[in-house]
Structure 1
Amino acid sequence: MNARTEAGDACDLRFGQVGLASVRIRRADAAALCEELERRVRSSPQLFSRTAVVMDLSELHPMPDDGVVDALLEAVRSAGMLPVALAYGTSETEALAVRMGLPVIAKFRAAYEPAAAEPVARPARPRAEEPVSAPPPTAAQAPATTGPGAQYHEGAVRSGQQIYARDRDLVVTGAIANGAEVIADGHIHIYGSLRGRAMAGAQGQTDARIFISDFRAELVAIAGQYRVFEQIPAELEGKSVQCWLEGEKLLIEKL
């Protein structure tokens, strides 16, 4: 071994986009959490098994003690997912993350209000049986993105590949293979077949939409609300569709 090799760097450290899921915990019940996550993993094992997840504890008031949080982390692991971080929140969250030996990821901003403010009441979720007052959106109604122009990807997106359009829309002209991901902070327009995953509104933009020419997706998501498809509904398979949010419900309709 020469001197150059011995003196060389031991590793190469880089920062980049990493695909992470977020688990927002609504109650400090480790058994119920494990049961719910196991059900989701069973429904789509290729998608959820050993998925890296960020834990969002923002709906737990007061913040549970370390023992309870440790039980919640173990519940996620038992379900087959891998907790790797806590969602950005308050100084209390940061202190908890230090004690748990986990990082805090600011990209996933938990639903905290500023520490000095009282929590703001959230609007009630619309009931599933309530009729939708507004007609479904169309491509012409899609709001413009306020950031820079759209990012274009020419050709196919291969399995295992991820394309991310930060602060803008994403336009893909080719097919997106199974196991591939396209992500945008704005809208997503896909002019080929979607067989992988498409996630719009990645930073929480609930008015983002997804337009797909040939719908065969594994998953579509907008602002974190997602739908997984083990089998595409016959009326949607291979069709041109649009996806949008109505409250917290992700809707899909043929164009």
Structure 2
Amino acid sequence: MQNSLTRKPIEIKISTVVAVAVLLHEASTPALEAALKEMTTGSPDFFDDEFAVIDVESIAAETVDWDALIPLFKAHGLHPVAVRNAREEDYAIIRSHGLSIDVVSKPRHEPEVIAAQAEVPAPAAKAEPQVIIRNNPAMVIDTPVRAGQRIYARGADLIITASVNNGAEVIADGSIHIYSTLRGRALAGATGNTEARIFALQMEPELVSIAGIYRTFENGFPDLQAQHPAQVRLIGDSIEVSSVKTVG
């Protein structure tokens, strides 16, 4: 009886919910529908009921048919939960569909070193180069990641010392390091870090992604140099898979 009196009817805790970012470059619903059909190749579980944040920054000046767009994504296994970079006049209709408005705070990019040549005298002796070391946090997982599991290293790199099995998903805002076999899905640079990479001693992934750009391997994985770990990185707008050549 005492527990029922002291227990709160509802608790609110901080939780991390991972959502894919859907960047729209077209406002035309038929064009988007055709693109989704081509992307999913008709597979109803391609996106596996993923939450989605719709980013309309590229089509900010165009009119979006939200009444058609949101059901379109749901029909293809994506569940929109928020819209990013929307026009203020669209807020009401977006909220009427139960979606949130994701307000993006864009950081100011300031140079790390500002040099004024006229104000800095030449050094009398040869100056040693300045080395800046940043502490990048990391999440470490020592057990296998099994089918159905999802691990997200928010604001950090992800280090896994065991295998990532088929049907598992590992996500990091930074890079992903797997000291075993990657067979599931790996998504690095989840918040847009295009410099993030994915490393594994053996690559057999279902899907890899860097900063939202993904690649699947229905036609087989690229032949890599034997006995070398592999890496996935972003070159322009393309995912590159290559061997990591060790020294020694």
| Cα pair distance change 1:84/1:47, threshold 3 Å | same
Instruction: Name 1:244's counterpart in structure 2.
Output: 233
Task: Tell me which residue corresponds to 1:51.
Answer: 50
Match of 2:119 in 1: none
Distance 1:172 1:27 in 2: 38
**RMSD of the TM alignment (CA)?**
3.2
2:83 maps to 1:86 = yes
The answer as to 2:197 corresponding to 1:209 is yes
Name the % identity: 34
Match of 1:137 in 2: none
Partner of residue 69 from structure 1, selected from 51, 66, 69: 66
Task: Report the TM-score, using the length of structure 1 for normalisation.
Answer: 0.73
**4+ residue stretches of structure 1 with deviation over 6 A?**
none
**Which one has the largest radius of gyration?**
2
The residue type equivalent to 2:16 in the other structure is: Q
Identify which of structures 1 and 2 has the higher relative contact order when contacts are C-alpha pairs closer than 8 Å and 6+ apart: 1
Aligned partner (choices 137, 140, 150) of residue 138 of structure 2? 150
1:98 aligns to 2:86 (yes or no): no
CA distance in 2, matches of 1:145, 1:20: 31
* Residues 46-55 or 167-176, more deviating: 46-55
**Paired position in structure 1 for 2:35:** 36
Q: Structure 1 residues 63, 96: closer, same or farther in 2, change over 3 A?
A: farther
In the alignment, is the contact (CA less than 8 A) between 2:60 and 2:87 conserved in 1?
no
Match for 1:247: what amino acid? G
Structure 2 residues without counterparts, runs of 5 or longer: 109-131
The alignment partner of 2:187 has SS state of: strand
Mean Cα deviation higher: 230-239 or 163-172: 230-239
Which one-letter code corresponds to 1:51 in the other structure?
E
TM-score (norm 2): 0.74
- After superposition, the Cα gap between the structure-2 partners of 1:166 and 1:52, relative to the gap in structure 1 and judged at 3 Å, is closer
Structure 1's unaligned 5+ residue stretches are: 115-143
CA distance in 2, matches of 1:63, 1:186: 33
Residue 8 and residue 155 in structure 1: after superposition, are their counterparts in 2 closer, same or farther (change >3 A)? closer
SS in 2 for 1:48: coil
Partners of 2:219 and 2:11 in 1: CA distance: 41
